Amino acid sequence: MSEGAGRKLDRTNWPIAAAMIQYPGVLPDGRTTQDQSAEEWSATLADVADAGFTELDPTDGWLRIADLEPSRLGEFMGVVASHRLTIPAISTARKNLIDPSLGEAHLAYGHRVLDTAATIGAGAVSFGFFGPLTDAQRQALWFWTVEGERNPTDAGTWSLAVERLRDLGRHAADLGLEISLEMYEDTLIGTADGAVRFVTDVDLPNVKINADIGNLIRLHRPVEHWQVMMEKIAPFAGFWHVKNYTRIEDETTGAIMTAPAPLEFGTINYRTAIRMALAHGFRSPFLVEHYGGDGLSVSATNRDYLRRILPRPETTA
């Protein structure tokens, strides 16, 4: 069901994938990565391998592998293998499963992603209820400083979301896959309480929470303390996007400022957060992310930090 099912995981072999958020899906010449040649894909994945990664998540903002023709998917996986990389999990991004206009299309796409994950040997897929960036967000230096779209909060929307996740969850279970739901502000799972309530309502053991609390800590507004959030969501943690931010709160003026930071230097103490999840049996892959600067290199630093704090081989049960 998860990447670690059936084998012992420790700091030496825990799947820690590179995100591809540093690479655009639309190229300067107007083509998309869907149209690139194997050689062009290889040039990009060479960066990932050169950064020391052995796993990647193609991240569909870069490449929608579920929409590649079988021959092209085989071509892509050949490139992945040529760089000695594997894909332990796949993330979908900004494909809101309850979007009023595109939700049904995104649901159908989600089923294709699950089938593709099973085909290539990935063990988990991340889904969410957040949509595309607004024009104002795209123009901002940091998009999270500008308010984006909000999910409706009525009972009908909640029921529709639960129904669609059960649909995906049952399909995933048939394929032996885990689903994780990405926490994101102003969505149905934009708080720890909301995320726990949602997965509890879905009530499938393979549907878990992507505890991407970095998405919330970075907001320039009051948010729940990261440790309080983790206490709530740790029992439900699955495939996990990890990133960190420095967060400054001025109690005298109410001003809040944040900026991206490597995992070990930000506000969230990931040594503690991960141990909380491990105590509840967490055995899913990690995805390391970073916005700004050379995000791939910072992600590699984040990977190395995780390797230092994950369980030693001799202490793995």
pLDDT digits (tens, 9 = 90+) for 178-205: 999 999 999 999 999 999 999 999 999 9
Q: What residues make up the domain containing 100?
A: 16-315
Mean per-residue pLDDT of the chain: 96
Tell me whether residue 94 is in a domain: yes
On whether residue 8 sits in a domain, the answer given is no
In a domain, 10, yes or no: no
Give domain status of residue 71, yes or no: yes
Number of domains in the chain: 1
Confidence at residue 6, expressed as pLDDT on a 0 to 100 scale: 61
Is the Cβ–Cβ distance between 120 and 87 less than 8 Å?
yes
Are the C-beta atoms of residues 242 and 263 closer than 8 Å to each other? yes
The pLDDT of 287-302, averaged and rounded, is: 97
**Beta-carbon count within 10 A of 29 CB:** 6
- Per-residue pLDDT tens for 125-134? 999 999 999 9
What is the rounded average pLDDT of the residues 278-304?
97
Q: Does the pLDDT at position 67 exceed 70?
A: yes
Residue 175, domain member (yes or no): yes
pLDDT at res. 315: 53
**pLDDT value of position 18:** 98
Residue 199 lies in a domain: yes
Displacement of CA 7 from its chain's centroid (Å): 23
Answering whether pTM is above 0.75, one says yes
Domain membership flag for residue 263? yes
Q: Can you give the CATH number for the domain in which 223 is found? A: 3.20.20.150
pLDDT of residue 10: 97
| The pLDDT of residue 314 | 76
Q: 3 lies in a domain?
A: no
